[in-house]
Structure 1
Amino acid sequence: MTSRFAHCGLLALATALVCQSAPAFAQDGGEAAEEIQSGSAGEVRETYAPEDFARFAPRNALDIIEQLPGFNVDRGGGGGGRGFGQASENLLINGERISSKSTSTSDQLARISVDQVVRIEIVDGATLDIPGLSGRVANIIVRQGGAAGQFRWRPEWNFGNAPAQWFEGEVSLTGQLGGVDYTIALENRDFARGRIGPSFITLADGTIDERLNTSTNLFNRPNLNAFLSFDVAPDVAVNLNLSGGIEIFDADEAEERVANTTLEPFLETFNTDSDEWYYELGGDITFPLFGGEMKLIALESFDYRDRTSSSLLDTAGLPLSGSQFVRVAEEGERIGRAEYSWSLLGADWQLSGEAAFNRLDQVGELFAFDPVSAEYVEVDFDGGVGGVREDRYEALLSIGFPITDNLTVQLIGGGEYSQLSQTGDNSRTRSFQRPKGSLALAWTPTDGLDLNLEIARRVGQLDFGDFLASVDLSEEQENAGNAELRPQQSWEIELEIAKNFGEWGSATLTLFDQEIEDLLIIVPVAGGGEARGNLESASRRGFRFVGTLQLAPIGLEGGQLDVDVQWEESELIDPVTNTARRFDRFRPFEMRVDFRHDIPGTDWAYGGSFEEVDPAPSFRVTQEILEFGPLRQAAIFVEYKDLFGMTANVRLADLLDNEDFLRRTVFDGPRNTAPILFTEERRRDLGQRITLTLTGSF
């Protein structure tokens, strides 16, 4: 890459800046801020007041968090795995995490009016009495006031072949009624994309088959969320989370041979139609017990999905042919968790226990198109019908204490036991016992410089769908089920160095290393075919730099530059070729630069962004695939902060000649020994996009 020297130079500059000494920039939240305590025992490193971000005209708490200098918002909820486990997000509200998996803390912050925000505390995770957190954590202190509403509408128009996106948005209401604090939100996530461009198939004999590929994707996920909080007695607090909704997804793809070719004309179409409905009911209660505090958490969730994928091939002179794969799946989860916290001998202790019961029931059926009846007729498909059950139990003990005034340690130790049962063609039951835990250190050698080190032993979770067979018709891929899967384990080390440069901004450099056992990857199976399986060992390491440079000191009042750079390298032994290579699809390099200028004395702001990525291939037994979106993207925006009381932001994205790209090599058997069957190269234009975002309060 031509920019590789620039990347290395940027890293060197970032490291030098982070290690410099400069006065810390922290704001006093004011006397009103002292009325509400943080709810945590963490050492506050920096404090910001809403007034510090007045130039951005924030509407809600999330608007403020997104402008914290040198801070990367973790938007992930708890839904990425089964069970709750310990805290993982780097956001808290009044010192507490949300007992929900479908709603993340950032989701909840978007529903809290900026008028309710008292202050924002930047805390070292290891100093908190919330085990599992490390690195910099933002604790948002809010007060409940009268009823306040938030709304956001985000339509999008595409210059390519995608339809307009009209229904992205959210409306929420927070307030207090009869001693109950409530937040109710109606949200829809809308996504529309279209692509068009040539596809070249090169056969083994050198014949080139030129085609035109067109695709559209439409996605809507409307859902209703409710969060209720109240006290049932002195020092006894209850939180309830309720959510539910539907998901509608439709994808259409057509590939047609161009007219100016000697090959017979044909048209192949693919369609995927997926409908889903889901709900989640959860809550927690906190109360004093034996000089400490007990927190009990419970959750019940269910998801039903009906997905049908169909293909149809129309070739001149031959009967119609095609396939159809239908998957109906029901997934459910029940969780019970207890956390008992107390203080003893100058340390914060917590004993936690969790039981999680998960289930998947799937009916997967494969059909072939019958040209006589013009219908899809079912064919044999081994391993597509069955179920998976997991009963998982976890127990952990944590202790956190200061070693010196500026050095704190947090120790966590314990383990988990899980029992996996599978029904269907490969029915069996297995159990696993795995130790887990971590050591976290938080050190502040001088004001404005924070170092956080974490060494952790982690246990991953299996995707239940990997136990059962599945088919991807568009990519001509079929996965066999694998009843022998084992959960991934890893040793992980992460060092975070955060530096506050006062009026100049802030920066955070994070270095990480992972040594992985039982990595999940596509492997060959006995008798031919492929499935998700385990590798004995693999490794991954890299860094992430997040920095904010305020431009006022160099004369551009209201100007700000944000930089986010990620680099990594990884290594595994390919199960087909027995040689070393990278992880599938893990990008070795990503960079994003954002510029924003809020013009002083006006309600106007403008700016832009630039992104660059290095793609990474993925591998199957008989295929090598390099697939990626635009390597470089640019966008510009204009924002007006008082359009009839609303904030209006117009963004023009994909300004460069953007394409999504596919290069696929298909072998006539395992790719280490078989000859190439054909190669496919596809380039599809995405088109520019205009996005209007209207946000406001009521």
Structure 2
Amino acid sequence: MAGIRGRWRLLGASILLLSAPIAGTAAAQTPAPALADPNVTPYAPPWFAEYRPVTALDMIGRIPGFQFDGGTSARGFAGTAGNVLIDGERPPTRSDALSTVLSRIPASQVLRIDIVRAGAGGIDMQGKAVVANVIRRPDGGVTGAVSANVSVSDRGRLSSGFSVQAQRQRDGRSLDGALQLNAGENEGEGSRVRIAPDGQVLLRGVSRNENEHQSAQATTVYEGPLAGGRIRANALIAFNTGVFEGLDTLTVPVGEERSLGENDNLKGEAGLRWNRNLPRGMTLELIGFQQLARSNGDFTYDTSFFTSDTLSETTSGESIVSAALKFAPVGRWSFETGSEIALNWVESSSAFGFNNSPVLLPGDDTRVEELRNETFATGVWTPRPNLSVETTLRYEVSRITATGNAGDAETQLSFLKPRLNVAWAPAPGHQLNFKLERNADQLSFGAFTASASFNTGIFGRGNPDLRPAQVWLAQARYERIYDRQGSFLAELTHEQIDDVLGQVIVLETPPGAPGPIAFNITRNVGDAVRDTLKLSNRLPLDRYGMTGGILTASLQWRRSQTEDPVTFTDRRLSDEQPFSWNLGLSQNLVARRISWNVNVSSGIEQESFAPRTLSSFRTGPSFHAGLTYRPDATLSISGSLFVSDGFERDFTLFSAPRPTGAVAYDERSTSPGQIQASIFVRRAF
């Protein structure tokens, strides 16, 4: 009976939380005084005063209804932008994450933050329903901060970090510099059991692994007037290295398996953005960007039956040049056009060894180049103050060349990518968006290179002849802002995906091999559909007796379907989670200058499909609690506790492709959860 009551209480709480926007309609308030444009909501520093924000990122996190999007990591800048601008512009940087850029802007330098909907104020939304524009004070003076953090796990392992940053903003010029250092070590343990189809235990043991990591990153940014316009120049250099060691102690059969790995990565990049006003109300923006990277890896797997070695070296580069021209509004229309050219290249070489003998695989020495151009034209029509229609036409053309011992190939690709984005605000606090667009994914350069798993006997062959998947996307979105801090969001997305990439098996005889070998190879294998529903709510608890309290909840359902290229039966896409949720409670205690939060998130549940393997990965829910004390505007002390529930991985190996092959074995790996406590201190000056 107690369990039934508990379920009813949970159901009642869920109904209350998700219906809060309806309950709050009578007392709905606009979150800030509106400007003349109803699609722009300004948030000035006094609005944030009770939360004592330290950085612009803190301020962004307090805006109701706004969900931060840091952008994507696709090659080029076109279509990868996040949903936060700084002084109306997006930083021309790749490795310096948008969240990191915002965390370096002191709250004292923020003049206000505008929440922009429907492309108001000439903002290029790039398909986003909502964009935040962080507007800085023109003369913020000299500011900076020093911060340090340390974390300890329940196994006694420590991780630490240190950063220092400084900014000087005066007379229309600014100079920003930052240095970040991190180091740490982790430890894990678990168990493995491998069972044959007849129930015989083939392997049983316990696992223990350790890894150490160090990283350093330095950035600098200059902004100021140049040639009648303004220039932003940024540079970054980053280095990280890691060492991994794993030991499996086996009782069946008696013995040991050891894994040793090392890797190091070095990356440097520089970006320039220059814009100026032109006659007749036009604005020109030019962007140049260059990135170079190098990575090395060395991995050894040693068992009682064999020893395998893998050495890898990868160098890559990216060059981007783009130009955009924004025209003065014509009546209720505004226009923008531009073009971007990006050159990406990757050279990868791998050396595989088995029992001290070299193994040659197709694709273990490869160079891939992609030269891509995307040109766009955007028109925004605003027939009424509360209605906006954005139409964008993008045309992408690219040439991909692959050379190496997997074969040479050249592919010419072109895609027309239209987008329609309609935004309507039927009443204050209500926003409806509808978006229809076509996109083309970018090919992973890893599909062109070889891979080897000597433990399972599965080898991967590089494929130089691939097409990226293309996606037609339709999305409907409803947003409701209420009770100053409250918000409700519902979003439904349907995707039709063509030229899905998947793995099949081919037979090939490598040089020196006695006969043909079955290789996994990535190919275009068919179509897929995917539907996603997202619901989220942010419920202020002042009216329920908890002053400064906020209850948050989010749910996501995802359903996908494609035809398995090996079994020709329908299944969902690999590594997609069908359902996830998050529940949080926070409170801001103004008088005590303390804020706290607790958060519970659903675990991970994923399945992966390959020609000769099936695997699944599951974790239980995770718990996070945090406490922050900010005695004044310069000092912030935070502590947090994170509890994870461990994982369970199931792996099935088949003797041949799944439709015809018998099960060779099933293996289950488990690991217990971990607890980690952290403290973070930041002093501004």
Q: Secondary structure at the match of 2:576?
A: coil
Q: 1:300-311 maps to which residues of 2 (within 5 A)?
A: 300-311=290-301
Number of residue pairs the alignment of both structures matches: 664
CA shift for structure 1 position 190: 5.0
Residue of 411, 414, 425 corresponding to 2:391: 411
- Matched with 1:26 is 31
- Matched with 1:505 is 486
Q: Secondary structure at the match of 1:52?
A: helix
Structure 1 residue identity aligned to 2:359: V
- Matched with 1:456 is 437
- Matched with 1:621 is 611
- Matched with 1:228 is 222
Q: Secondary structure at the match of 1:181?
A: strand
Structure 2 residue identity aligned to 1:282: G
- Matched with 1:286 is 275
CA shift for structure 1 position 4: 11
1:257 lines up with 2:250 in the alignment? yes
User: Aligned equivalents of 1:139 and 1:10: distance in 2?
Assistant: 35
1:496 lines up with 2:470 in the alignment? no
Structure 1 residues 444-453 or 241-250, which shifts more? 241-250
- Matched with 2:192 is 199
- Matched with 2:515 is none
Residue of 248, 268, 292 corresponding to 2:257: 268
Deviations, residues 293-334 of structure 1 (Å, cap 9, x unaligned): 111111110010111111011x3xxxx621111110110011
Q: Secondary structure at the match of 2:160?
A: coil
User: Aligned equivalents of 2:137 and 2:153: distance in 1?
Assistant: 41
CA shift for structure 1 position 570: 0.8
CA shift for structure 1 position 10: 8.4
1:140 lines up with 2:130 in the alignment? no
Q: Secondary structure at the match of 2:345?
A: strand
Classify 1:49/1:345 alpha carbon distance in 2 versus 1 (closer, same or farther; 3 Å): closer
Q: Secondary structure at the match of 1:683?
A: strand
Structure 2 residue identity aligned to 1:485: L
Residues 52 and 633 in structure 2, CA contact (< 8 A), matched pair in contact too: no
Residues 149 and 171 in structure 1, CA contact (< 8 A), matched pair in contact too: yes
User: Aligned equivalents of 2:271 and 2:83: distance in 1?
Assistant: 21
Residue of 640, 648, 665 corresponding to 2:652: 665
Structure 1 residues 585-594 or 326-335, which shifts more? 585-594
- Matched with 2:340 is 354
Q: Secondary structure at the match of 1:616?
A: strand
Residue of 89, 92, 96 corresponding to 1:99: 92
User: Aligned equivalents of 2:621 and 2:220: distance in 1?
Assistant: 40
Q: Secondary structure at the match of 1:497?
A: strand
Classify 1:644/1:105 alpha carbon distance in 2 versus 1 (closer, same or farther; 3 Å): closer
- Matched with 1:374 is none
CA shift for structure 1 position 254: 1.7
Deviations, residues 6-44 of structure 1 (Å, cap 9, x unaligned): 999888777755578453432249xxxx9xxxxxx9854
Residues 15 and 509 in structure 1, CA contact (< 8 A), matched pair in contact too: no
Residue of 304, 309, 328 corresponding to 1:324: 309
Q: Secondary structure at the match of 1:343?
A: coil
Classify 1:440/1:250 alpha carbon distance in 2 versus 1 (closer, same or farther; 3 Å): same
CA shift for structure 1 position 399: 0.5
Deviations, residues 541-569 of structure 1 (Å, cap 9, x unaligned): 11222322111121111212222322211
Residue of 359, 364, 385 corresponding to 2:365: 385
CA shift for structure 1 position 526: 4.6
- Matched with 2:64 is 69
Residue of 248, 272, 280 corresponding to 2:241: 248
Structure 1 residue identity aligned to 2:557: W
- Matched with 1:38 is none
CA shift for structure 1 position 75: 2.4
Structure 2 residue identity aligned to 1:257: L
Q: 1:289-688 maps to which residues of 2 (within 5 A)?
A: 289-291=278-280, 292-313=282-303, 315=304, 321-346=306-331, 347-370=333-356, 377-425=357-405, 426-471=407-452, 477-503=458-484, 505-527=486-508, 528-613=518-603, 615-628=605-618, 630-642=619-631, 646-654=635-643, 658-688=645-675
- Matched with 1:47 is 42
Structure 1 residue identity aligned to 2:339: G
Q: TM-score scaled by structure 2?
A: 0.91
User: Aligned equivalents of 1:73 and 1:131: distance in 2?
Assistant: 14
Structure 1 residue identity aligned to 2:101: Q
CA shift for structure 1 position 150: 2.4
Residues 125 and 137 in structure 1, CA contact (< 8 A), matched pair in contact too: no
Residues 50 and 118 in structure 1, CA contact (< 8 A), matched pair in contact too: yes
CA shift for structure 1 position 465: 1.9
Deviations, residues 358-404 of structure 1 (Å, cap 9, x unaligned): 1111111101233xxxxxx4222222001001111111111112022
User: Aligned equivalents of 1:493 and 1:428: distance in 2?
Assistant: 34
Residue of 78, 83, 90 corresponding to 2:83: 90
User: Aligned equivalents of 1:302 and 1:5: distance in 2?
Assistant: 57
Structure 2 residue identity aligned to 1:410: E
User: Aligned equivalents of 1:659 and 1:450: distance in 2?
Assistant: 40
Deviations, residues 88-121 of structure 1 (Å, cap 9, x unaligned): 3111112211111222332211011111112222
Residues 86 and 131 in structure 1, CA contact (< 8 A), matched pair in contact too: no
Residues 365 and 449 in structure 2, CA contact (< 8 A), matched pair in contact too: yes
Residues 126 and 441 in structure 1, CA contact (< 8 A), matched pair in contact too: no
Classify 1:204/1:573 alpha carbon distance in 2 versus 1 (closer, same or farther; 3 Å): same
Residue of 59, 67, 72 corresponding to 2:54: 59
Residue of 87, 112, 117 corresponding to 1:119: 112
CA shift for structure 1 position 189: 5.2
Q: 1:158-197 maps to which residues of 2 (within 5 A)?
A: 158-160=153-155, 163-167=157-161, 169-176=162-169, 180-188=173-181, 192-197=185-190
User: Aligned equivalents of 2:256 and 2:41: distance in 1?
Assistant: 61
Structure 2 residue identity aligned to 1:348: S
Classify 1:446/1:42 alpha carbon distance in 2 versus 1 (closer, same or farther; 3 Å): closer
Residues 265 and 296 in structure 2, CA contact (< 8 A), matched pair in contact too: yes
Structure 1 residues 407-416 or 62-71, which shifts more? 62-71
User: Aligned equivalents of 1:55 and 1:92: distance in 2?
Assistant: 24
User: Aligned equivalents of 2:132 and 2:446: distance in 1?
Assistant: 35
CA shift for structure 1 position 692: 1.0
Structure 1 residues 130-139 or 687-696, which shifts more? 130-139
Structure 1 residue identity aligned to 2:144: G
Classify 1:576/1:271 alpha carbon distance in 2 versus 1 (closer, same or farther; 3 Å): same
Deviations, residues 41-79 of structure 1 (Å, cap 9, x unaligned): 985443222333333321111011112223211123x5x
Residues 87 and 130 in structure 1, CA contact (< 8 A), matched pair in contact too: no
Structure 1 residues 538-547 or 9-18, which shifts more? 9-18
Q: Secondary structure at the match of 2:159?
A: coil
Q: Secondary structure at the match of 1:553?
A: helix
Deviations, residues 421-445 of structure 1 (Å, cap 9, x unaligned): 1111211211011111200011100
Structure 1 residue identity aligned to 2:671: R
Structure 1 residue identity aligned to 2:351: E
User: Aligned equivalents of 1:385 and 1:610: distance in 2?
Assistant: 46
Structure 1 residues 442-451 or 494-503, which shifts more? 494-503
Classify 1:172/1:588 alpha carbon distance in 2 versus 1 (closer, same or farther; 3 Å): same
Q: Secondary structure at the match of 2:99?
A: helix
- Unpaired runs of 5+ residues, structure 2, are 509-517
Q: TM-score scaled by structure 1?
A: 0.90
User: Aligned equivalents of 1:517 and 1:5: distance in 2?
Assistant: 44
